[in-house]
Structure 1
Amino acid sequence: MGDLTKHKSDSHAIAQRPDGFFEVSFHAMGTHCILLYDCDNERLANEVALEAVNWVRFFERRYSRFLKDSFVSTVNSLAGVEPVALEEEDRRLLGLCQSLNFITKGLFDPTTLPLSILWDFKRKSPEVPSESKIKEAMKRVGWNRVVLNPDEVFLPHSGMGLDFGGFGKEYAVDRVIEIINSFGVGNAMVNLGGDIHTLGRPKDAANWIIGIENPKEPGRPSFALELSGMAVATSGTYARFFEKEQKRYSHLIDHRTGYPVSSNVFSASVVSSTCLEAGALATCSLLCDRKEGLGLIENYFGAEGCLRTDQSLYWSKGFDQFICKNQ
């Protein structure tokens, strides 16, 4: 890599690149994470790295449903029993959930855990649940059932559950870019497993160049975007699925039907001012047909997106402004 400076701790590695930018790498939330930022000196660069990585560790501990002592697990275990007190980060995150659920007319919904558990795509040999079990699970799904006030949150029915797995990483991307910027850093890129937020520009270009993977050729971009001060997230149904009786079931479940999505759109990439918005719109667009999904993105102020089918790419009216012309 030709690094000028290297430092490694138990939680992350940091190196200064030839262009002067510092690169921090670590593993969190089940994925590889990269932070790139321009810094005046090594001491400040290390402070930025420590603050950012520590916050991601905090976020994972507090909001993973797989950790029994997390906030999410506590809320879920007390469903139908009693409310759980909120801290400031909880209020911010749940408030954004409320807003996105309203804006997407219910397509964005963090309460789909009963359906995720029922379908269980992590199982070695997934099965298609019976219709009666799906209907029973759907009775415990719906953000409108959540009781939320400034001090506490309550899931009123036993068996309800919150799951931030579908958007938590995108939220974390936005918070990390905020943390980096709070140190006076004006040029940065945060990449948590492909969910990206940019700030300013790299040393050798006017914008950050972000490749969008071709699902048919994993690891190879089909095109690239030029971004500055914007975020991008991609959601797809092509990577995780199972087949039963010659029918394909993707991991993305439509909570309105209780079944995996059946649209011919299998990938969506969205550019927006926040990574959370981009990720939510990308995922929600896959719950719709192509025309409705594209309309959802176009109707969201400041967002542009691209949908992919087997036959073609379809993008919103302003998406081409971000496409890199010099590939």
Structure 2
Amino acid sequence: MSSSVPFIHCFQAMTVMCEVQIFANNNAKNIAAMIESNTRRLEDKYNFHSSTSWLNQTVNQRKSSQVPLDEESYTVFEVVKRLVEGTQGLFDPTIGTIKSLMKRQPEMVQKAAYESVKEFMGSQAWHLSEQSLVVKETKTQFDFGGVIKEFAVDQAITIAQSFGVPSALVNFGGDIRALGSKPDGSAFNIAVRNPKERNEPLFSVPLANAALTTSAHYERSFQFADKQSSHILSQHGIHPKVLSVSVLAPTALEAGALSTALTINPQLTLPQEVGVVFIDDHLSIHQDTEFVA
């Protein structure tokens, strides 16, 4: 049974503020607690920056080229593989390779760093076989920083659905997914921030039974010896005319992968069910790519 007033639960996880709105009269508090618990479990399991995470201990410190995967991790890698292929390799979980290199050798300049590890990165560096991850080179390292937060959002929706919740909104640091619409039948109204004035909204998007993520390069950075780079790492860099990309897709995981890839190549071919909004370097809003031609 739905409620016109949401139960709102907030918590800090995955370096961001997480908010869950559940429109249900019964059990909303317990459902929200389950979502928080599952989010923290995923953070602990797949945290690239934690030496005790499953990702680092089992995958990145693997003792052989073949790593048996549990059902959940196999699903994650399987979905990620499809997203890598769908973005022509622009979305790349092996970006952990360059991050690990720079931890060991912070004196390296950007070009030399990428050249030294390029054979250990990309879709050709790994594949799945019989419930296992196969990685031929020990230097190949996986970072799911652009994956697990979105995966947690999707799992939050799955948890809510399993309890019959008709309407919910999950927002983990701007990675957002709506279950259904508002109880009155209208869509949720989601604001997208001005990249140059981050406390100000620039436009809004109606959201119902879909996910919305925004990727931008103005909030965080990555340091090479010779330059500061966007945290969206790519050997060819992000597109200079794109300040942010918002993607509307069926799942947060798909939206997140595509929004990341589109900051690098805004002319990437998109699935028919996906919508996109670009903000260019003049704060103009676009739903096509003529501005980069």
TM-score (norm. length: structure 2): 0.88
User: Residue deviations 1:245-302, cap 9 Å, x none?
Assistant: 9976322221xxx3532532121000011111111111101111x4x14xx3xx3121
Question: Percent identity at matched positions?
Answer: 31
Q: Secondary structure in 2 aligned to 1:180?
A: helix
Write the mapping of 1:233-248 to structure 2, written as runs, cut at 5 A. Answer: 233-241=213-221
Q: Secondary structure in 1 aligned to 2:98?
A: helix
On the 8 A contact 1:21/1:38 being kept in 2, the answer is yes
Q: Distance in 2 between matches of 1:27 and 1:202?
A: 25
Q: Distance in 1 between matches of 2:264 and 2:107?
A: 21
* Matched residue, 1:65: 48
Q: Distance in 1 between matches of 2:217 and 2:145?
A: 15
Q: Residues 261 and 119 of structure 1: is their aligned pair in 2 closer, same or farther, counting only changes over 3 Å?
A: farther
Q: Distance in 1 between matches of 2:206 and 2:198?
A: 21
TM-score (norm. length: structure 1): 0.79
Does 1 or 2 have the higher relative contact order (CA < 8 Å, sep 6+)? 2
* Matched residue, 1:78: 62
Q: Distance in 1 between matches of 2:258 and 2:25?
A: 36
Unpaired runs of 5+ residues, structure 1, are 1-17, 318-327
Q: Distance in 2 between matches of 1:113 and 1:267?
A: 23
Based on CA coordinates, which of the two structures has the bigger radius of gyration?
Answer: 1
Count of aligned pairs: 284
* Matched residue, 2:271: 300
Q: Residues 244 and 274 of structure 1: is their aligned pair in 2 closer, same or farther, counting only changes over 3 Å?
A: closer
Q: Secondary structure in 1 aligned to 2:138?
A: coil
* Matched residue, 2:287: 315
Q: Secondary structure in 2 aligned to 1:139?
A: helix
Write the mapping of 1:239-318 to structure 2, written as runs, cut at 5 A. Answer: 239-241=219-221, 249-254=229-234, 258-288=235-265, 290=266, 292-293=267-268, 296=269, 299-311=270-282, 312-316=284-288
Task: Say yes or no: does 1:101 pair with 2:84.
Answer: yes
Aligned-pair CA distance for 1:230: 0.9
Which amino acid is 2:14 matched to?
M
Q: Residues 301 and 39 of structure 1: is their aligned pair in 2 closer, same or farther, counting only changes over 3 Å?
A: same
Deviates more, 1:216-225 or 1:195-204: 195-204
The counterpart of 2:155, out of the listed 175, 186, 208, is: 175
The counterpart of 1:138, out of the listed 118, 132, 140, is: 118
Q: Residues 60 and 229 of structure 1: is their aligned pair in 2 closer, same or farther, counting only changes over 3 Å?
A: same
The counterpart of 2:206, out of the listed 213, 216, 226, is: 226
* Matched residue, 2:176: 196
